[in-house]
Chain A
Amino acid sequence: MAELAEVPARPPDAVLAQIAELRRIAIVPALNEEEAVGRVIDELRAFDPGFDIVVVDDGSTDRTAGIAADRGAHVLRLPFNLGIGGAVQTGYRYAFEHGYDIAVQVDGDGQHDPAQLPAILGPVVAGDADLCVGSRFASGTGYQSSFTRRMGIRLFAWVVSAVVRQKVTDTTSGFRAVNRKGIALFAADYPHDYPEVEATIMCVKHKLRLQEVPVEMRERAGGASSITALRSIYYMTKVLLAIFVGLFRRYAVPLEKEQRR
């Protein structure tokens, strides 16, 4: 399995040239991010105007959807809050039904810098990975978070690495790129709340190739994180249970034709 150290740095221009022919989409989940979502869209455009952008508004009560639509993004407005898992999957369903070749997922809160996308896209475009995740902890700089979150993240990194038999440092990162195979899988099946941990395992169980690349993340540009201390304990229990039960589950690879309606 490919490890972090083996990933060669690809020059951004080379990646952009390689994806120029591909139908590509950026999925941006957003919940009450009116202060940040506009900048995220602008930065995505600045990185590569060829990306279609779909903002999934997970039941915001502010102007998130309006701002995104004004900037020319496609906006999927969920009628009520589905949670991050349901919101992200809506984006992948959109990407699947509209036949995109490649999708990147970028948080609507501004903590992911689209300028770092070449690193994440690189392995997917080169055909070395079906899913490539940007990891905050692979390089060890740039991002700090609360103690409980760090502990949780470390615990999950250890558990997930053991389950997938491959070193994974950041299981909670929503900054990633997938190819058509990954889009099809996530469109068909995506875990619920706090989904990135389970999604990582799901990918490997479906024989999709996973890679991590180091990225730096920024402080949130606005809004409030949806994770509080008490909820993170609940999520930790829930996700550990899901991982444990998942070990006893047989996975069926979804077929594209079954998903088309």
Chain B
Amino acid sequence: MTPLPVSIASAVASFLLLVVVFELIRSRRLRERYALLWLLTGGVLLALSVWRDGLNTIASWFGVETYPPAILGAIGALFILMVLLHYSTVISRLSDQNTILAQRLALLEQQQREGVTEPSR
């Protein structure tokens, strides 16, 4: 069985995560689309912290009999991995778009400097 202090501590921590994410969205420092995974992470961790039987059940599926909260850490790590991977794809897209913007700007500047009119389509 998960020790009660562990459950309380992890419940408080995941609740804080949810509050911080909510406040970041509210103050427009975090877009909703990038917050969804964080909210899911906070929600799942909070649920497993409060629902101690559930955590024990999941722990027993994986043969973790001695210390069920280890599963909490594993699931947390899994979600953080997902968030990081998601951000990697976001950064990749941003850097592609950045390249396109820089190229467009260079072409525009050249056009403006040399007064070249756009060829007809």
Please give the residue numbers on chain A whose beta carbons come within 8 Å of chain B beta carbons, in ascending order. 66, 69-70, 79-80, 192-193, 237-238, 241-242, 245, 248-249
A residues in contact with B36, CB < 8 Å? 237-238, 241
Q: Which of A70, A192, A249 has a CB less than 8 Å from the CB of B31?
A: A192
Given A79-B104, A241-B25, 12 new contacts (CB under 8 A)? A66-B121, A70-B121, A79-B97, A79-B100, A80-B97, A192-B31, A192-B32, A193-B33, A237-B36, A241-B32, A245-B26, A248-B26
Q: Which residue of B lies closest to A81 (CB)?
A: B97
Q: Which residue of A lies closest to B96 (CB)?
A: A80
Of residues 107 to 121 in B, which have CB atoms within 8 Å of A's CB atoms?
121
- In the complex, the number of residue pairs spanning A and B with C-beta atoms less than 8 Å apart equals 31
Please give the residue numbers on chain B whose beta carbons come within 8 Å of chain A beta carbons, in ascending order. 22, 25-26, 28, 31-33, 35-36, 39, 96-97, 100-101, 104, 121
Contact indicator A80/B100 (Cβ below 8 Å)? yes
| Prevailing SS type, chain A contact patch | helix
Please, how many angstroms separate the alpha-carbon atoms of A242 and B96 in the complex? 27
Which of B26, B35, B104 is the most central at the interface, judged by chain A CB atoms within 10 Å of its CB? B26
Contact indicator A238/B33 (Cβ below 8 Å)? yes
Contact indicator B100/A241 (Cβ below 8 Å)? no
Q: What's the minimum C-beta distance from A163 to chain B, rounded to whole angstroms?
A: 16
Please, how many angstroms separate the alpha-carbon atoms of A79 and B22 in the complex? 32
